Amino acid sequence: MTLPKKAVCYFGDGKADASATDRDVIGGKGANLAEMTRIGLPVPSGFTISTEICSAYYQNGRSFPDGLENRVHMALRRVERSMGASFGDISNPLLLSVRSGARVSMPGMMDTVLNLGLNDATVQGIIERTQNPRFAYDSYRRFVQMYGDVVLGLRPASSHESDPFEELLDLAKRDSGVEFDHELTALDLKALVARFKDVIRERTGKPFPEDPYRQLWGAIGAVFGSWMNTRAIAYRRLNGIPGDWGTGVNVQAMVFGNMGDDCGTGVAFTRDPATGEKKFYGEFLINAQGEDVVAGTRTPLPIDKMKRVMPKVYKQLTRIQGVLEKHYRDVQDIEFTIQRNKLWMLQTRAAKRTGKSAVRIAVDMVEERLIQKEEALSRVTAEQIEQFLSPGFDPNAKRNAVESGQVLGKGLPAGPGAASGRLAFSAEEAERLAREKEPVILARIETSPEDIHGMAVAVGILTARGGMTSHAALVARQMGKVCVAGWGSVEINYKSRKMVVGGRSYKEGDWISLDGTTGEVIQGHLETRPSEVVRVIRGKSKAKGKKSEYGAFSRIMQWADEVRHLGVRANADQPDQAKLAIAFGAEGVGLCRTEHMFFGEKRIEAMREMILADDSETRRKALARVLPIQRKDFVGLFRAMSGRPVTIRTLDPPLHEFLPKTEKEIRALAADMGVKPAHLLSRVGSLSEQNPMLGHRGCRLGISHPEITEMQARAIFEAACDVKREGKKVLPEIMIPLVSHPHELREQERVVRRVADEVFKRRKMTVPYFVGTMIELPRAALTANEIAEYAEFFSFGTNDLTQTTLGISRDDSSKFLPHYITHEIFRREPFATLDQKGVGELMRIGIERGRAARPDIEIGICGEHGGDPPTVQFCHDIGIDYVSCSPFRIPIARLAAAHAELRERETLSARKARRASANGRPRNRVRNIRPPSASSKKIGAKAKVTRKAVKKTYARG
């Protein structure tokens, strides 16, 4: 293999082989180091080995490609020249850091080695030059430990095993009678290095490598190797990162924050990552290495304290953070080190942020004219909106807790929100509790990447050590988990599985509550309550102006609505739900499940009488009692939706769902109803089904008992007339469920239209309405052209369509689906995120054939997938007209729809750009890519226009 041009990219002294645009090739960290160098910021020199080399390394059976050694050594020479020190030189040794850096940040997932280049000879050079033997041996001790852990594989596989180096360290402290690492003397540390090396020889059978070049190549290999460690693989799976991207390796001259009190290290954000407030925000530690901050082993100082301690450096740092934010036009998360009063920038990257801050920052930056609305929109993720809307504690419950002394103390508010759950002290226990459907609070002294799987299932995370930028805090914010970090007053004991605070002891399984916004830890279970936005929307709180949470949220949503083409409707059965849906931005009701209306008290009685009727006459009588109730429901719904379309599905579930199941319940009901138990038992028996999901339900009910559909249609049209008479507009869309054959729809459509004609004639008025169908069986999608003959609209019922297409009963899937997900047989839970290749393919077919037969047919989706962002994207792509989801997910769907539109624009302009630049170049690369379904999109667009025209006509009339 000839090495690509960017296989090894040097940066230093204001020059760099790469820039921020090379992130895909050399990884994010390297690209940003190069970029910072280019714009003149103080960055220790170094070089980046590209991600392509990582891929080559794996393709080569884990060996380095030819020519790499040469290129690395050439780059190393430039670093030596720039830093004025030589790698392996005894008198003036250059020390290196070796870190991973992938295309996207995978915090803590992969390996780092610092102080590389130290050995028994070079350590002497450091001592000579620094005149600080303690610093030199401390660095050496850290290096050997890290190298042993990372490169030589001595790191314990789980948190239950002990780390041999940590044990020796603890032993040394005990021997010396000191409490903290930094109290150990140079001699202690020197002895410790020797003992570390003994352990290495014992465990690996080989001596610690003294040769700096062997150290370097070992570390590079270890970084590549860490790409495939189980943590990294799990993280990629969780975040949908392809395994073949690979990681870059950043080799950089070491600078030291731990040479004395004129040194330090820190992490900062250009704005508050929790609230989004525009203020320089961060933490630093005097006389410390960077890892001390990130790992959270010492609790750092707030950044503004630096103003007093190191005023010059602070001034320079605040200037630089401003430059970086302007340059990147986004909030930056920066790492820096001060070595003997000189500031070095070690990293910059877009800051992770909470939902609240993401919204605030996006809106603020538009006001500051830093970014455009579209960019602001694309920076707020659906997950962040979800988090933004998630609940806090009920204020009364909280006040009671405070007043009754249940607040145990206060840590750092590292992940906002409120959570209440059962204590777990290990990731394993957290998973066990989660499997039992218990909410879990994971409490750890500090967290490490090994805890990720426990954090993923927890509702909240509590740590005893570590700051706002500790591992726990970073990961929690990213996952949208509530987190209280660095709660120093607690003692957590893993062995006894207890935590003790102020003399009170809490064991695994006990209830604990975390307020991630204040940092409070509260004993017992506390009720949570809706977010400010939800309270405003529900009318339980007033909006507090443009700068309030609600204000910022509203603007983001308004921009989303300006951008998106996809409609968003709500699944709602009751007037109050409908009102909430409108407040959340719904443009209509996409699914009103009429059966939910039957479960009220008197209603279920009439339903049961109807079901037990022996002939259609008695059935009609019972239905006549249901009619006024149902009509009232629809009146409420139509009023609430005032003219927006309301899609009403006729009765769907099998009739036995309205009857009790056990013999005892049946006997009780029979007594209540005054019928013979035997009669009721036999009726229940005759209605019971082997596979109710595939049984006598949906339109099959309406076809065998047309009187049910008649009653429902009558209730709908009478309600529509009533509301129209009030002067309001009404637009009912009657939706027939479980259609597999056009004749089924034809039968039911006839009934609906006949009843409509009857009602309109009697009321001497008409109301516009549509009749359509669910597409929720594979056959319906396949014969959509024939079904469209009778359907004015389609709505994909992706819940049932998933069940039938995959042949999986959702109710029974828990027996094998979790195994499928953990073993990557299915990449995603198909009932949460739409299976695009199977179910999605049927949707494509259904849309194409449906529109071929009826170009102006309106097509929606009303399965629970309608509020899932990747599914919303897919719906946009295949030309669906609207998604319908639960009211609470509507803002997420609106944003996801805007994102889909923005992504389409991006793809289009990228394609244009590619076309413009592709004169004469071979185009093999794109040949195998599936062409976008341009035709259906086009038809979709056209349909939308036609449809709009229809509605406009109606609106006028």
Question: Quick one: how far is CA 185 from the chain centroid?
Answer: 46
Stretch that binds its own copies, among 48-56, 545-553, 752-760, 776-784 (CB under 8 A): 776-784
**How many helices (H) and strands (E) are present in the chain, helices listed first?**
39, 34
For residue 827, list its beta bridge partners: none
**Least CB distance to its own copies at residue 820 (A):** 8
Residue 700 binding its own copies, by CB under 8 A: yes
- C-beta separation of 71 from 269 below 8 A: no
Stretch that binds its own copies, among 7-15, 459-467, 696-704, 926-934 (CB under 8 A): 696-704
Q: Between 164-176 and 186-204, two packed helices, what is the crossing angle to 10 degrees?
A: 150
CA 602, CA 618: separation in Å to the nearest integer? 17
The residue from 158, 704, 924, 928 that contacts its own copies (CB under 8 A) is 704
Residues in the chain: 957
**Least CB distance to its own copies at residue 702 (A):** 11
Nearer residue to its own copies within complex by CB, 606 or 839: 839
**Least CB distance to its own copies at residue 849 (A):** 10
**Least CB distance to its own copies at residue 698 (A):** 8
Stretch that binds its own copies, among 183-191, 281-289, 324-332, 771-779 (CB under 8 A): 771-779
Active-site entry in 453, 471, 656, 865: 471
Active site residue 471: yes
Count of residues touching its own copies (by CB under 8 A):
48
Nearer residue to its own copies within complex by CB, 776 or 901: 776
Stretch that binds its own copies, among 16-24, 41-49, 139-147, 778-786 (CB under 8 A): 778-786
Q: Tell me, what DSSP letter sits at residue 18? A: -
Residue 653 binding its own copies, by CB under 8 A: no
Residue 924 binding its own copies, by CB under 8 A: no
Write out the H or E segment, with its range, that includes residue 456. helix 452-457
Active site residue 263: no
Nearest to 374 by CA among 559, 561, 546, 551: 559
**Least CB distance to its own copies at residue 816 (A):** 5
CA 520, CA 462: separation in Å to the nearest integer? 10
Nearer residue to its own copies within complex by CB, 439 or 778: 778
Nearer residue to its own copies within complex by CB, 236 or 724: 236
Nearest to 610 by CA among 627, 623, 629, 595: 623
Residue 848 binding its own copies, by CB under 8 A: no
Pairing of strands 112-116, 96-102: antiparallel
Nearer residue to its own copies within complex by CB, 210 or 595: 595
**Least CB distance to its own copies at residue 696 (A):** 4
**Positions in 785-844 near its own copies (CB under 8 A):** 786, 800, 803-809, 811-812, 815-816, 819-820, 823-826, 835, 837-839, 841-842
Residue 954 binding its own copies, by CB under 8 A: no
Stretch that binds its own copies, among 68-76, 229-237, 584-592, 684-692 (CB under 8 A): 684-692
Pairing of strands 332-339, 264-269: antiparallel
Pairing of strands 528-529, 567-571: unpaired
CA 650, CA 699: separation in Å to the nearest integer? 8
Angle at alpha carbon of residue 347, lines to 346 and 351, rounded to 5°? 150
Dihedral, CA of residue 549, residue 551, residue 556 and residue 560, to nearest 10: 130
The residue from 105, 215, 709, 783 that contacts its own copies (CB under 8 A) is 783
Q: Tell me, what DSSP letter sits at residue 161? A: S
Q: Between 575-583 and 616-641, two packed helices, what is the crossing angle to 10 degrees?
A: 30
Give the list of residues 6+ apart from residue 535 with CB closer than 8 angstroms, or none: 529, 541
Residue 779 binding its own copies, by CB under 8 A: yes
Residue 691 binding its own copies, by CB under 8 A: yes
**Least CB distance to its own copies at residue 201 (A):** 39
CA 492, CA 496: separation in Å to the nearest integer? 9
CA 251, CA 248: separation in Å to the nearest integer? 10
**Least CB distance to its own copies at residue 744 (A):** 6
Residue 778 binding its own copies, by CB under 8 A: yes
CA 409, CA 521: separation in Å to the nearest integer? 6
Nearer residue to its own copies within complex by CB, 369 or 815: 815
Nearer residue to its own copies within complex by CB, 289 or 783: 783
Nearer residue to its own copies within complex by CB, 350 or 694: 694
Mapped onto helix, strand or coil, the DSSP state of residue 190 is: helix
Nearer residue to its own copies within complex by CB, 111 or 800: 800
Q: Residues 721-740 vs its own copies: string with x where CB under 8 A?
A: -----------------x-x
**Least CB distance to its own copies at residue 630 (A):** 24
Mapped onto helix, strand or coil, the DSSP state of residue 264 is: strand
Nearer residue to its own copies within complex by CB, 535 or 656: 656
Residue 219 binding its own copies, by CB under 8 A: no
Stretch that binds its own copies, among 83-91, 359-367, 382-390, 688-696 (CB under 8 A): 688-696
Nearest to 412 by CA among 524, 304, 302: 302
**Least CB distance to its own copies at residue 874 (A):** 15
- What are the angstrom distances between the C-alpha of 445 and each of 418, 440, 441? 20, 16, 13
Nearer residue to its own copies within complex by CB, 323 or 782: 782
Question: Quick one: how far is CA 899 from the chain centroid?
Answer: 15
Active-site entry in 54, 721, 862, 875: 862
- C-beta separation of 610 from 622 below 8 A: yes
Write out the H or E segment, with its range, that includes residue 3. none
**Least CB distance to its own copies at residue 711 (A):** 19
- What are the angstrom distances between the C-alpha of 953 and each of 294, 413, 731, 957? 62, 55, 12, 6
Q: Tokens for 447, please give them.
A: 């967290």
**Positions in 478-537 near its own copies (CB under 8 A):** none
The residue from 573, 587, 747, 864 that contacts its own copies (CB under 8 A) is 747
CB 679: neighbour CB atoms within 10 A?
A: 13
CA 780, CA 785: separation in Å to the nearest integer? 9
The residue from 38, 197, 410, 741 that contacts its own copies (CB under 8 A) is 741
**Least CB distance to its own copies at residue 830 (A):** 9
CA 398, CA 404: separation in Å to the nearest integer? 10
Write out the H or E segment, with its range, that includes residue 889. none
Question: Quick one: how far is CA 268 from the chain centroid?
Answer: 24
Nearer residue to its own copies within complex by CB, 614 or 811: 811
Nearer residue to its own copies within complex by CB, 676 or 827: 827
Stretch that binds its own copies, among 211-219, 337-345, 555-563, 700-708 (CB under 8 A): 700-708
**Least CB distance to its own copies at residue 336 (A):** 46
- What are the angstrom distances between the C-alpha of 355 and each of 229, 240, 362, 441? 30, 20, 11, 21
Mapped onto helix, strand or coil, the DSSP state of residue 898 is: helix
Catalytic residues: 471, 862
- For binding to its own copies (CB under 8 A), which residues are involved? 689-696, 700, 703-704, 738, 740-741, 743-744, 747, 776-779, 782-783, 786, 800, 803-809, 811-812, 815-816, 819-820, 823-826, 835, 837-839, 841-842
